[in-house]
Amino acid sequence: MLIGTTKSVQGANENDAFGDFLITYGHSKDHRPDLKQFKIGAAVQENGHPVMGQIFSGNKSDKVWNPEAVLKMSEFFNKKGYKDVVFVSDCAIVSTDSLNELSRKHIQFISRLPETFNLAQELKDLAWQADNWNDIGPLSDAKTAANYKTFAIQRELNGRKYDFVVVYSSVLDAKKEKTLKKRIAKQKEELQKLAKDLAKQKFACAPDAETALKKFQAKAEEMGFTTQGEIKVEEKRSYSGKGRPRKGEEPTISITYQCQCRIGEMKPDYYEQLRQKESTFVLIANVRDKKKWDDRRILQEYKNQSSIENKFRFLKSPVYLGPVYLEKPNRIQALGYVFILVLLISSYLEYRVRKSLKENKEYVLLPGKKKTDRPTTKTIMEYFSFIMIVIVNGQRLFPSNCNKQALNLVRWAGYDPEEVYLKPLPWYPGRKK
């Protein structure tokens, strides 16, 4: 899996490049576009262990780095004799050029088809019309876990066949729902403006006005909105000359017809259809073993990215990695590689603890007396901070009220607490004997 993030730097950094590494402005995942930055990318196994890390310029696009990283990693794995490697990435890897290159090198991958491809909407519509979903269910044991269903199909893209999996999630992201409501409100506002423009038009006969009204209502209802319309008749009397009409002169009567249309709310069933489509996304896969890589596994591997991305968010916390005040690009780049080493160590620590908990059928107690056998690195480190020692007559001891859970976590990580905490520290240069 490929993951990446940005790290902002403080202070004035000159635009001196160190090789092809440049500290500069770019799209900030820290939400600090006012600060210069550098980028950190890593390729990790499905268990979260990094196998490759790279520090690169702050303005390098993920759409450029992701395909480059996949090609380099594929070459590396081929040299090592690993032939059945499947790369998982977000939609940054999917473009016309990168797909052609990946297919040409026979590289297996799983990614998300960007909405910028017309095929994405076409496949969504096809899935809902066919209504032949494969019920996957939840992918985790969490109470709030979403239920998934999938629709698999093969299609050509740029002259090559790929496997596509249309995925529906029962949980609509709050941000997407907010965006959907904003889009609906904007559509309604535009229709109301068009209705006002239509009301200003005058028609010479009722059939023409009715035709225009029906056409407008059909357009609004096609967009899912309810409408109420009527034809307003206006009678106007006029005389041949200006001023007071001559005695006995009959007025000329002209009749015009105007359309009045009110835009109502969106129909509930139509809104639900839109909501369902917003909860739907399309995965693209190029895998050789179709039986091994079914709908569920493709989806599971893609969704695993989120748990691995959480490791980056944890390590970017100011508690663990504060502001970067280094000035020279080579020092900043070196710090970035230290960041990747920290990611490696934290991932391995988390892996060992979780493995031990599962094997021993144990659990860690979280705030609110919640039990988990999958503690995060942050939780593990917080427990380690509870460990205290006392020194009595030169002997290192655990106090009687030492946190037992914290000591167990040391054991679950594969170490003896007494060896780690109570054994006298070795002498090193600068330490007083």
Which residues lie closer than 8 Å to 379 by C-beta, 6 or more apart? 364, 366
pTM: predicted TM-score of the whole model, two decimal places: 0.74
d(CA 305, CA 76): 22
Domains and CATH numbers, the chain: 2-113+133-166+283-347 (3.90.350.10), 176-273 (no CATH), 352-422 (no CATH)
Six-digit token string for 279: 């909860």
Nearest to 24 by CA among 317, 332, 322: 332
Per-residue pLDDT of the chain in tens (433 residues, 90 and over written 9):
777 777 777 766 665 566 677 777 887 777 788 888 888 888 888 777 788 888 888 888 888 888 888 998 898 888 888 888 999 988 888 988 999 999 888 999 999 999 999 999 999 999 999 999 999 998 887 778 888 999 999 999 988 999 999 999 888 767 788 889 999 999 999 999 999 999 999 999 999 999 999 999 999 999 999 999 999 998 887 767 677 776 767 777 788 999 999 999 999 999 988 888 888 999 999 999 988 999 999 999 998 876 666 666 665 665 555 566 677 788 888 888 888 888 888 889 999 999 999 999 999 988 888 899 989 888 999 999 999 999 898 889 999 999 999 999 999 999 999 999 998 777 656 656 5
d(CA 224, CA 135): 28
d(CA 80, CA 386): 43
Six-digit token string for 422: 């109570």
Six-digit token string for 303: 């969704």
Q: Work out the angle at residue 254's Cα, subtended by the Cα atoms of residues 253 and 260, and round it to the nearest 5 degrees.
A: 135
d(CA 351, CA 376): 9
d(CA 99, CA 93): 8
Q: What is the dihedral of CA 377, 378, 379, 381, to 10 degrees?
A: 80
Q: In the prediction, which pLDDT does 22 show?
A: 77
Cα maximum dimension of the chain: 129
d(CA 102, CA 109): 8
Q: In the prediction, which pLDDT does 142 show?
A: 76
Asked if 360 and 385 touch (Cβ cutoff 8 Å), the reply is no
Q: In the prediction, which pLDDT does 318 show?
A: 57
DSSP bridge pairs for 364: 372
The b-or-e profile of 230-258 (16+ CB within 10 A means b, else e) is eeeeeeeeeeeeeeeeeeeeeeeeeeebb
